[in-house]
Amino acid sequence: MSSRGDIEHRIQGHSIGADDYVIKPFEPRELLAKIESQLERSRRIHEEIQRLLDQAGQSAAKQRQPPLVAPEPLPLTPAEEKVFWEVVQGLTNRQIGDRLFISPRTVQTHLSNILSKLSLDNRAQLVRYSYEQGYHPPAASRGGVS
């Protein structure tokens, strides 16, 4: 993520190994879509590698990953957990405050506590963490922003 949007900086970012180049300011929904796309791409690559290994005669038992297990409960208070799911959906502090009937400052306090408890630095890392750890919004939170 960078505020430098000229072509030379974008090329440099890709040449040093970036999968994507996001220019600030960015749209949270776009960032979320990019993260989901990268995770799906990684899943497809893993499946293809698995298929090729199986095809080459490798033992299927050695190549399979352990079955997916439900993630550990989040180490958050109920209020922090509500804010967590709203942030993961890409909402701003003001939007979250409006939906949860709390002030944007209270949202920021909860977000700071969440980031601290999960040892993360920012919202983007929080979104990535939620997807990589297998956390999915509760059914009531699905469906996006209304």
- Distance between CA atoms of residues 35 and 98, nearest Å: 26
Per-residue pLDDT for 63 more than 70?
no
Task: Provide the phi-psi class of 108: left if phi over 0, else alpha when psi is between -120 and 50, else beta.
Answer: alpha
Q: What is the mean pLDDT of residues 118-127?
A: 90
Q: What is the mean pLDDT of residues 34-55?
A: 82
Per-residue pLDDT for 145 more than 50?
no
Q: What is residue 65's three-state secondary structure?
A: coil
Share of the chain above pLDDT 90, in %: 30
Q: What is the pLDDT of residue 92?
A: 92
Pick 69-136's CATH classification: 3.30.360.10, 1.10.10.10, 3.30.465.10, 1.10.238.10.
Answer: 1.10.10.10
CA-based angle 48:89:82, to the nearest 5?
120
Per-residue pLDDT for 70 more than 80?
no
Q: What is the mean pLDDT of residues 23-47?
A: 82
**pTM metric for this prediction:** 0.51
- Do residues 51 and 104 touch, judged by C-beta distance below 8 A? no
DSSP secondary structure string, 127-140? Answer: HHHHHHTT----GG
Q: Average per-residue pLDDT in the chain?
A: 79
Q: What is the mean pLDDT of residues 37-49?
A: 84
Report the DSSP beta bridge partners of residue 2: 23
